[in-house]
Amino acid sequence: QVLGGSNFAAVEISERTLIDEIYPPFEAAVKEARTLGIMASHGDLNGIASHGNPELLTGVLRDQWDFKGYVVSDSNDIARLYYFMKVAESPEAAALMGLIAGIDIDLYAEDSYAYLPEMVKKDSSIEKMIDRSVRRVLRTKMILGLFDNPYVDIEKVEKEVRSETSLELAQQADLESIILLKNEANMLPLAKKQRKIALLGPLVDDGTKEAFEAITGNTVTYVADQGFELTDQNPGEPKLLPTDEATLKRLTDIAQSSDVVILFLGGDEFTSKEAYFNNALGDRATIEPVGAQDELLDRVISLGKPVIVVLKHRRTLAINTISEKANAILDGWDLSEFGDSSIAKIIFGEVSPSGKSPVTIPRSIGQFPFHYSMKEINKKKGYLFLEDGPLYPFGHGLSYGEFEYNNLKLSADTISPSTKIHVSVQVTNTGKIKAKEVVQMYLKDEIGSVTRPGKELKGFDKIELAPGESQTVSFTITPKMLEFTGLQMEKILESGDYTVMVGTSSEDGVTTKFRLEK
């Protein structure tokens, strides 16, 4: 949430938003996952540099959450308290500020903690803080067994790195995460029959054609052509390449001679990259697909051919033209080395897609920040010349199966600070294909003493159903799920009505109500 969306810029988040929206996943990592290490952000937070923020790194992390592990700096960011953030008078002052805040490890810098030995000679009280950080690092090494067995087993590494089970897991992760955003007239899955399919666009890889051939065999003829790069691939500051008319014509001619066209569009490591500190840009002021991608789509669509778009990208994109004109859209984000194989398996129906969008997909960058849990007052007004709402909601993802939700039941219609409510819903696959579905449970506080989120995801479960099969999916609502930061900036429970929605996305589900009584 950096201002202007650019790396290293200021971060301004209200205390209530921090506590209720930003902190929870980090708190869960500490308390539930029992993480051993935390890295500080290289930004500031409401005017206080994160690497010099004892309230955050000690007060919240250790005193409130009881974190016992080590805190490591982001690259060079303790030294940057002096020469970039300008909150320390000298490199030595920056080192002391980081140590006091609770940074235990200075990540590969020679101009901050490297000064500590000389600083101790002048101020012996610093030694106690160094000892504290050393204990945290040694404790982690002990937990990891590095005192008993400090050496790497090279033979074991060779056996386990890229092991068969690891590679299978990578492909399974691909198959479970690919999102079917659009499937007009049930165009997908395609049958494995004799036809010619064009694989076109800047995100076609060297192995794309081979991956598709491995799935369909000789029944389908493929022609693959990347056509053009999006940028000049300069690692520091890539530049967009001009549209090449001859290339677009060649791709259009290939599409004309094909029965089906699969366009590989989106972005790559040069259109979505880190804006690291020196001599590099990586942030974007727009989120539409760059270059001639929409132009390529328009030309291919004009041919009247069935068009499937496969999205590969590393940041949220506003895909208005693609959404309007493509017959089907598969969103892969940044898949593994088996990505094209996984895409082919889904296109040809070997696997039904079951991924759900992890973000609210906007129509324009002007809608940012834009997320499903926004307060209702944020939705009062739309924008001139822009359709209301998201392009696709959070949690959206279609399937080759068809799922019906029925019989949403609660174990009780009231909850107290010491009780729970059990939620159950019947999900049925009314389609003709075995498929997986992510069942999502959202809660909405109808009235609060402070403005409350429109809804909040509080549970989800992935199930697999054969055609005609039903399954009862259960969740538990606990009082902690209903806590929020009240007027006095303390966690509270308030009596009142709540709505439960269980469904296939943040916008589509069955609902019922219960009441919290104190």
At 409, which CATH number? 2.60.40.10
Q: How far apart are CA 313 and CA 410, in angstroms?
A: 40
Same domain assignment for residues 126 and 271: no
Residue 62 in any domain: the answer is: yes
Is the same domain home to 317 and 181?
yes
Three-state secondary structure call for residue 257:
coil
Give the global pTM: 0.95
Q: What is 191-219 written as a DSSP string?
A: P--SEEEEEESTT--TTHHHHHHHHHGGG
CB 501 within 8 A of CB 441: yes
From first to last of its 518 residues, the chain has per-residue pLDDT tens of 788 889 999 999 999 999 999 999 999 999 999 999 999 998 999 999 999 999 999 999 999 999 999 999 999 999 999 999 999 999 999 999 999 999 999 998 889 999 999 999 999 999 999 999 999 999 999 999 999 999 989 999 999 999 999 999 999 999 999 999 999 999 999 999 999 999 999 999 999 999 999 999 999 999 999 999 999 999 999 999 999 999 999 999 999 999 999 999 999 999 999 998 888 999 999 999 999 999 999 999 999 999 999 999 999 999 999 999 999 999 999 999 999 999 999 999 999 999 999 999 999 999 999 999 999 999 999 999 999 999 999 999 999 999 999 999 999 999 999 999 999 999 999 999 999 999 999 999 999 999 999 999 999 999 999 999 999 999 999 999 999 999 999 999 999 999 999 999 999 999 999 999 99
CB-facing half-sphere around the CA of 379: CA atoms within 13 A: 13
CATH number at residue 22: 3.20.20.300
In this structure, is residue 36 part of a structural domain? yes
DSSP-assigned beta bridge partners for residue 199: 224, 262
117 and 175 inside one domain: no
Question: How many helical (H) and strand (E) elements, i.e. helices and strands, does the chain have?
Answer: 14, 20
Distance CA 468, CA 490 (A): 48
CATH of the domain at 341: 3.40.50.1700
- Residue 375 lies inside a defined structural domain of this protein: no
| Domain span holding position 425 | 403-516
The vertex-499 CA angle with 493 and 500, nearest 5°, equals 105
Quote the tokens at residue 507: 């916008």
Domains held by the chain: number? 3
- Is 380 within the bounds of a domain? no
Residues 320 and 410 occupy one common structural domain? no
**In this structure, are 218 and 94 located in the same domain?**
no
Provide the residue type at 282 as one letter: G
Residue 365 lies in a domain: no
Q: Are residues 291 and 194 in the same domain?
A: yes
CB neighbours of 89 closer than 8 A, spacing ≥ 6?
82
On whether both 464 and 509 belong to a single domain, the answer is yes
DSSP labels for 286-298? Answer: --SPPTTHHHHHH
